[in-house]
Amino acid sequence: MTQSEQPPDLIISLSHHAVGLQLSGHAEKGRTAWSAHYPIEVLFQEDQLAGVLDQALTENPVLMDTMEQVDVLFVDFPHLYIPPSHTDDTQWRQLANRYLRHRDGDQWVQDPLKDDSMMTYPVPAVMVNLISEYFANPGHMHLSSVLWTAITQNLSPEQNEGNRLYYFLLGKTLLILGASGDQLTFTRACYAPEKEDLRYYCIAYDRLIQPVESMQVTVADLPVGYKLDALSGVRVKSSISLPEIQTLIAGYRSCAS
């Protein structure tokens, strides 16, 4: 198994309202699987993230062992899909600066996708540097990049026809991916703390895109949260089930390398 195909030992998921850590088990090293979820107030404050990591290391000292692969997963950071025709350095920067807010101290991250397209998003450099002080050479990727790579690998040929919407709910974050055939057209992260927020976004994007089908995406080891087809007026009538998140991240890295 190459480095790119190896499932991560540790996943650090970052959203504006929570930090999650998921440690995979390793029988040969005597390591048991472990996960924790830490609500936060302001992710962009360095002391909040450092406090979470310090607490996690205190609760589970195994995290101080050498990890072969650590991946940072950006969950709800504003991001932009860049088609293959606009991925040269000048064009993608123009698009990113037009549609995304780049604060002082941010750095651009680019996730390569299939067909030479990519996802780009700004993250605070201090956040990336801080995590690198705790774990050597962590990988970085957006959850939308991981999901889209997995979706394209799991769809049947008949599911690649027409405009489609894919919804993924994780905590209070609703990720929406739009596609035309097997080509990604847009992606959006929405804060949806209540059922009515979910209903609003699903109906709004359905009216905007008018998809031939909308699907709720689930990941084997992540909580479903809420079944969107139970919401009144929401046309989500099918679902696509994906393997556990470690497998999806390894699959993304393998495709992107």
Which of 1-10, 24-33, 186-195 has the largest mean confidence?
Answer: 186-195
pLDDT at residue 50 is higher than 90: yes
**Is residue 97 predicted with pLDDT exceeding 90?**
yes
> Torsions phi, psi of 221, nearest 5?
-105, 15
Return the pLDDT at 45: 75
- Consecutive H or E run containing 209: helix 195-209
Which pLDDT does position 43 carry in this prediction? 66
How far, CA to CA in Å, does 116 sit from each of 112, 184, 243, 253, 255? 7, 12, 25, 14, 11
- The class (CATH top level) of 146-244 is alpha beta
Q: Over 80: is that where the pLDDT of 138 sits? A: yes
Q: Distance between CA 236 and CA 238 in Å, rounded?
A: 6
What pLDDT is recorded for position 197?
95
Residues 180-186 have a mean pLDDT of 87
- Report the chain's mean pLDDT, rounded to a whole number: 90
35-44, 162-171, 217-226: which is most confident: 162-171
**Rounded Cα–Cα distance for residues 148 and 223 (Å):** 19
Per residue in 5-28, pLDDT (tens digit) is: 788 999 999 998 889 999 998 877
> How far is CA 102 from its chain centroid?
19
